[in-house]
Chains A and B, each alone.
Chain A
C-alpha cells in the first residue's frame, strides 16, 4: 500500500502539472481582464487537435509542433478578444463574458465536429507509452515531459508578468484599469495580447492533454469545471496558484482513489475546497486586495 500511495502522489504531481498548464491561461485572462473564459476547455481541445493535425498529417513531433501551434493559438486568442470580448461593456463585463465565451465554445466545438467528426482520437508518439524506471516506479515520459513543460511555461509567464515592462502594464491593468489608462497604458492592447498569451499557453496544455487522454470535440465540457475549480482554489489571477492548486487537487484525488475508493476521490477534494474557501475566500494563493476595481 505504501508504494501505491507514493506512486499516487507522484502521479498527482505530474498530472497536476498538465492541469496547471491548461488552467494557466484561464487564470491569466481572468486576472487581467475580469473575463471568465468558459471556452477554455474547448480551446484545450482545439490545441490538441492542432497537434493531432501536425502529427498525423505532417509527421511533426508533438513537442516540436508547439513551435507552430502556440503562435497559431495566440492569433486565435487575439481574434476572440477582438471579435467577442472587446465589445463587452465595463459594467457587465464579467457576467457577459460567460455568455460570450460560451458562444465561442459552441462555435469552436461545431467547427471541430465538422472537420474531425466525433470519434475519439489520441496523440501518439514514442514517449506516450514508454516510461522511465526509477527506483521501483515507472514514470511515464509523457507526464514527466509535460510537467517539465508546465514548469518552464509557467515560470516564463511569471517572469513576463513580474520582470518585464509589459508585465508591469498587465499588473497595472489588473489592479486598476482606469488608473492604468491615466498613466498611458494602452489597456485594450494589453488585454488583447494577454488574451492571446492565455490562449497560446493553452496550446501546450492541449497537446499534453491530448497525449494523455482520448478526446473529441465534446471533451471540453468535462474539462472546464475542473479548470475553474483549479483557478478558484489557486486564487484568481495567480499563475503559481494554478500550479499549486492543480497539484493539490490531483494528489488528493489520486491518493484517495488508492487508499479509499476512486468514487470518493472527487468528494474529498470538493469537501477540502469548501473548507479552504471558508478560511481563505481568495483561494490558496490569491491576493485579497489585488483586485481593487
Chain B
C-alpha cells in the first residue's frame, strides 16, 4: 500500500513542474501548520486551565485568601446607559463600603480593592463582564450588578464558576426563579413591595377609602410582578381597577398613557416605574391635565433623593410615595454610621442620599460578615454559610436568606415626600413612621 502510494506520488512528481513542486510543498507545509494549530487548539485550553488554576493556587491559600496584596472584589455596574443614574449611585455605595471597610481593618487582615467594569446597562455585556472578572482578572469575590434585568444573566455566569453572588438590586421574582443557590439579594424581595401601601388603603374606613385605582407599568422584571399583588388586595377591599396597562421600557411619548390614566379619573395611581424619567413624565402629564389623584405611589424614582427633586421640580414632590427598605433618616445605627460617612465623603443631607447607596453598602456588609464567619473567600463555603439559617446585619436591617436567596427578614416600608422631606409613613404604628399625607397635595403646591 505504502509502495503504491509512493509510486503514484512518484509519477505525480515526475509530471510536476518546478512551480508545481513549490505549490505542493507549500500545501504540505500549510497542512502541517494546520495540524500543529489544531493540536495547539486542543491543548491550549487545557493548558490555560492548568495555568489558571496554578496561578490562582500560587496566589491564594486553600480558603481562597491571597497570601499578599488586597482582596479584589469584582463588580459590573451600569455606569452608562439607561440605568446609569442608579448604577453610579450603586458605585458610590460600593466605594463607600470599600473606604469604610479599609478604615476598619479591611477583610481578614487584607485591604479590599474594588474592580468595577461598566456594562452600559446591557444584559449581554454584564455576562461578559463577570466572565472577564472571573476568568481573566481572577477576582476573589463578586458583588452584583444593578437591576433584576442584569442580575439574571450575571448570576448564571457567576454560578457556573462557583462564586457567591451577593447583590442588592436584583430582587425581582425572575432572579430567584432561576433557582440558583449562589444568588443572595440583601434587599427586600420586590414582589411584595406594594403590599404595605395596598393594605393601608384597604384598612381605611369605607367612607375614606378610594374606590378606583389605575396601574400603568413598565414591562420590566422589577416592576411588573409588583402590581398584580397590590391589585388583588385592593380589589378585595372593593377598590375597582379602572386602568391596567403595560408599556415598553423605552417610550417615545408618555403623554397618551398618562392622559388615559387621567381620563380614567382613578383616585389612586400605582405606577410600575424603574427610574426617575418615567415618574417625572407621569407627574408632568398629570399636572398638565389638572389630574390630582388622592395617592400616587411609584415602585422606583421618588427614592432617588435630590435626583428625583431636580427632575420633577420641588413643587411636584409633595405626597409622592415609594416602597423601599431604607431611607436616609433611618434609626438603624449601622445606617447612621453610613449616612455620616456618605455626607463626609460626598456632602449633602440624608434626604439627598439615593437608596441605591444603602443597597450597595449592604452587599459589602453581608459579604464582610460571611467572610469573617467562615475565614474564607471560597464560594462554596460562603454559599453554605449564607444558606445556614444565619441572620446578619446591614444598614437596611437584618438579612436572613431563604433557600433561593431572598431576604425574608427585610421589612418593607413606604416613604413619602412631605414638605420637601423624605419620611417613612408606613407601616402604620412603626416607631419610625410619621403621619401620612392623604390625600396628597395638588401638583405645584
Interface residues, chain A, with chain B CB atoms under 8 Å away: 3-4, 7-8, 11-12, 15, 19, 109, 113, 117-122, 124, 128-131, 138, 140, 143, 212-219, 221-222, 226, 249-250, 253-255, 257-258, 261-263, 265-266
Is B316 within 8 A of A11, CB to CB? no
Is B81 within 8 A of A214, CB to CB? no
Is B281 within 8 A of A120, CB to CB? no
CB distance from B182 to the nearest CB of A (A): 30
Cα A122 to Cα B85 with chains together (Å): 14
* Set of chain A residues within 8 Å of B219, measured between Cβ atoms: 263
Please list 10 pairs of residues, one from A and one from B, whose beta carbons are closer than 8 Å in the complex, sorted by A's number. Answer: A4-B256, A19-B252, A120-B276, A121-B311, A129-B313, A130-B288, A140-B255, A214-B277, A219-B277, A266-B252
Cα A16 to Cα B219 with chains together (Å): 24
Q: Return the contact of A213 from the options B277, B290, B306 (Cβ within 8 A).
A: B277
CB distance from B148 to the nearest CB of A (A): 19
Cα A268 to Cα B251 with chains together (Å): 14
Q: Return the contact of B259 from the options A8, A119, A253, A266 (Cβ within 8 A).
A: A8
Is A120 within 8 A of B307, CB to CB? yes
* Set of chain B residues within 8 Å of A11, measured between Cβ atoms: 253, 255-256, 259
B84 at the interface (CB under 8 A from A): yes
B80 at the interface (CB under 8 A from A): yes
* Set of chain A residues within 8 Å of B284, measured between Cβ atoms: 122, 128-129, 212
Q: Return the contact of B311 from the options A4, A109, A122 (Cβ within 8 A).
A: A122
19 further contact pairs, Cβ within 8 A, besides A117-B88, A120-B275, A262-B245: A3-B263, A4-B263, A8-B256, A15-B252, A118-B84, A119-B306, A119-B307, A120-B311, A122-B280, A122-B310, A129-B284, A129-B313, A131-B288, A213-B277, A213-B280, A214-B281, A216-B85, A254-B255, A257-B257
Which residue on chain A has the smallest CB distance to residue B246?
A: A263
* Set of chain A residues within 8 Å of B80, measured between Cβ atoms: 109, 113, 218
* Set of chain A residues within 8 Å of B81, measured between Cβ atoms: 218, 221
297-319 of chain B: CB within 8 A of chain A? 304, 306-307, 310-313, 316
Given contacts A4-B263, A120-B311, contact A262 B248 (CB under 8 A): yes
Which residue on chain B has the smallest CB distance to residue A141?
A: B288
* Set of chain A residues within 8 Å of B417, measured between Cβ atoms: none
Is B252 within 8 A of A226, CB to CB? yes
* Set of chain A residues within 8 Å of B275, measured between Cβ atoms: 120
* Set of chain B residues within 8 Å of A119, measured between Cβ atoms: 85, 304, 306-307, 310-311
CB distance from A62 to the nearest CB of B (A): 14
CB distance from A26 to the nearest CB of B (A): 16
Q: Which size bracket describes the interface of B in this complex?
A: 35 or more
Is A262 within 8 A of B289, CB to CB? no
Given contacts A120-B307, A121-B311, A222-B82, contact A250 B287 (CB under 8 A): no
Which residue on chain A has the smallest CB distance to residue B278?
A: A214
Per CB-CB distance, the 8 closest pairs between chain A and chain B, nearest first, are A262-B247, A119-B307, A214-B277, A254-B256, A140-B288, A214-B311, A129-B287, A214-B280
211-265 of chain B: CB within 8 A of chain A? 219, 245-248, 250-253, 255-257, 259-260, 263
B432 at the interface (CB under 8 A from A): no
Which residue on chain B has the smallest CB distance to residue A127?
A: B288
Is A249 within 8 A of B252, CB to CB? yes
B443 at the interface (CB under 8 A from A): yes
Cα A145 to Cα B313 with chains together (Å): 20
Q: Return the contact of A261 from the options B245, B251, B307, B316 (Cβ within 8 A).
A: B245
* Set of chain B residues within 8 Å of A254, measured between Cβ atoms: 253, 255-256
Cα A254 to Cα B284 with chains together (Å): 17
B444 at the interface (CB under 8 A from A): yes
Cα A275 to Cα B279 with chains together (Å): 34
* Set of chain B residues within 8 Å of A258, measured between Cβ atoms: 256, 259-260
Cα A248 to Cα B436 with chains together (Å): 45
Is A253 within 8 A of B252, CB to CB? yes
Cα A212 to Cα B282 with chains together (Å): 11
Cα A170 to Cα B80 with chains together (Å): 38
Which residue on chain B has the smallest CB distance to residue A15?
A: B253
Is B257 within 8 A of A121, CB to CB? no
Q: Return the contact of A218 from the options B82, B263, B316 (Cβ within 8 A).
A: B82
Given contacts A121-B310, A138-B290, A212-B284, contact A253 B253 (CB under 8 A): yes
* Set of chain A residues within 8 Å of B85, measured between Cβ atoms: 118-120, 216
Cα A129 to Cα B344 with chains together (Å): 36
Given contacts A122-B312, A263-B247, contact A213 B252 (CB under 8 A): no
Is A131 within 8 A of B255, CB to CB? no
Is B250 within 8 A of A7, CB to CB? no
Cα A221 to Cα B87 with chains together (Å): 17
Cα A214 to Cα B80 with chains together (Å): 16
Cα A217 to Cα B82 with chains together (Å): 10
CB distance from A105 to the nearest CB of B (A): 12
Which residue on chain B has the smallest CB distance to residue A138?
A: B289
* Set of chain A residues within 8 Å of B280, measured between Cβ atoms: 120, 122, 213-214
Which residue on chain A has the smallest CB distance to residue B281?
A: A213
* Set of chain A residues within 8 Å of B310, measured between Cβ atoms: 119-122
* Set of chain A residues within 8 Å of B256, measured between Cβ atoms: 4, 7-8, 11-12, 254-255, 257-258, 262
Given contacts A119-B307, A138-B289, A221-B81, contact A4 B253 (CB under 8 A): no
CB distance from B88 to the nearest CB of A (A): 5
CB distance from A55 to the nearest CB of B (A): 12
* Set of chain B residues within 8 Å of A218, measured between Cβ atoms: 80-82, 84
Cα A47 to Cα B88 with chains together (Å): 23
* Set of chain A residues within 8 Å of B285, measured between Cβ atoms: 140
CB distance from B142 to the nearest CB of A (A): 24
Cα A212 to Cα B254 with chains together (Å): 10
CB distance from A131 to the nearest CB of B (A): 4
CB distance from B13 to the nearest CB of A (A): 49
Cα A130 to Cα B290 with chains together (Å): 9
* Set of chain A residues within 8 Å of B245, measured between Cβ atoms: 261-263
* Set of chain A residues within 8 Å of B252, measured between Cβ atoms: 15, 19, 226, 249-250, 253, 265-266
Cα A130 to Cα B289 with chains together (Å): 8
* Set of chain A residues within 8 Å of B251, measured between Cβ atoms: 262
CB distance from B102 to the nearest CB of A (A): 25
